């Protein structure tokens, strides 16, 4: 399923930053279950608001929002 493979980038970045789902959720004002749902593909990243996507980028120190979704790209935030 395409959603699962694309959302894996979020999990990879979160783990690289040493954050739990709960910690990330608290930083962006979401519930931990919502982060888990995005990472495992139960919730499409296409349903995220722009504001939430920006908060995720800020929390994970990511300049390029595509890195949240693309597990095949380099996951460095630099």
Residue 67, token pair as written in the block = 């890195």
The gap between the terminal CA atoms of the chain, to the nearest Å, is 29
Question: What's the pTM?
Answer: 0.72
CA 30 centroid distance within chain: 12
Residue 15 CA to residue 20 CA, distance in Å, equals: 7
Task: Name the least confident of 58-62, 67-71, 73-77.
Answer: 73-77
Query: Tell me: the pLDDT tens digits for 25-63?
Result: 999 999 888 899 988 888 776 677 888 888 999 999 988
pLDDT averaged over every residue in the chain: 78
Cβ atoms within 10 Å of 67's Cβ, excluding its own: 20
Residue 36, token pair as written in the block = 């888990």
């Amino acid at each position: 399923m395409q959603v699962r493979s694309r959302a894996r980038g979020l999990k990879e970045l979160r783990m690289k930053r040493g954050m739990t789902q709960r910690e990330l959720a608290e930083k962006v004002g979401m519930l931990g279950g919502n982060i888990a749902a995005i990472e495992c593909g139960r919730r499409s990243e296409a349903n995220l608001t722009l504001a939430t996507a920006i908060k995720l980028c800020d929390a994970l120190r990511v300049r390029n929002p595509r890195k949240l979704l693309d597990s095949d790209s380099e996951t460095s935030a630099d």
